């Protein structure tokens, strides 16, 4: 039985950004060769084309195999992503969703006996309810 490609997990813009950084670091041809696609196909992807699911899985697997983060995530990226995910939720529900995720991130770091990174701490502050207001009053 043939192994199935993994399910894509990164949003395409983040995948494109990560691949573009690696292509700038090495070369377009090298990255394309290592991923297992043509340089023209990789160039098209970097210019905005949507990859097929098998190609997207290859790109994600290759990027993950590089084993390094070229830049840490930041609060702005997270909030933009959260707003895309919560498009059908009310502003109050979106805040609650963001607060729950921020608290889960903090808890996850603390369970591993690690201090949460600055962007996680900033995220937690961003989604905390304002003092003196009921949670239902926070927009």
| 111-135 pLDDT, tens digit each | 888 888 888 888 888 888 776 555 4
Residues 133 and 79 grouped into a single domain: yes
Residues 43 and 81 grouped into a single domain: no
Residue 83 lies in a domain: yes
Our count of domains for the chain comes to 2
* C-alpha distances out from residue 58 to 42, 54, 55, 137, Å: 11, 6, 5, 46
Residue 47's pLDDT is 94
Distance CA 39, CA 35 (A): 10
Residues 111 and 86 grouped into a single domain: yes
Cβ atoms 95, 134 nearer than 8 A:
no
Residues 132 and 102 grouped into a single domain: yes
Residue with tokens 């969703």: 97
Query: Residue 17: which pLDDT band, with cuts at 50, 70 and 90?
Result: confident
Residues 29 and 79 grouped into a single domain: no
Where is average pLDDT lowest: 31-35, 50-54, 57-61, 120-124? Answer: 120-124
Residue 71's pLDDT is 60
Residue 21's pLDDT is 86
pLDDT digits (tens, 9 = 90+) for 73-82: 667 777 888 8
Distance CA 112, CA 31 (A): 34
Residue 44's pLDDT is 96
129 burial class (0-12, 13-18, 19+ CB within 10 angstroms)? Answer: middle
Q: Which range of residues forms the domain containing residue 38?
A: 12-65
Residue 11's pLDDT is 78
Q: pTM of the entire structure?
A: 0.48
């Amino acid at each position: 039985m043939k192994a199935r490609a993994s399910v894509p997990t990164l949003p395409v813009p983040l995948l494109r950004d990560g691949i573009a950084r690696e292509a700038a670091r090495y070369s377009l041809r090298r990255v394309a060769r290592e991923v297992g696609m043509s340089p023209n196909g990789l160039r098209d992807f970097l210019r905005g084309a949507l990859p097929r699911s098998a190609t997207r899985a290859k790109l994600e697997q290759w990027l993950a195999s590089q084993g390094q983060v070229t830049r840490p995530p930041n609060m702005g990226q997270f909030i933009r992503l959260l707003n895309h995910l919560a498009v059908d939720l009310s502003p109050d529900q979106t805040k609650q969703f963001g607060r729950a995720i921020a608290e889960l991130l903090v808890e996850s770091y603390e369970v591993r006996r690690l201090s949460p990174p600055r962007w996680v701490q900033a995220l937690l502050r961003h989604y905390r309810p304002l003092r003196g207001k009921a949670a239902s009053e926070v927009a």
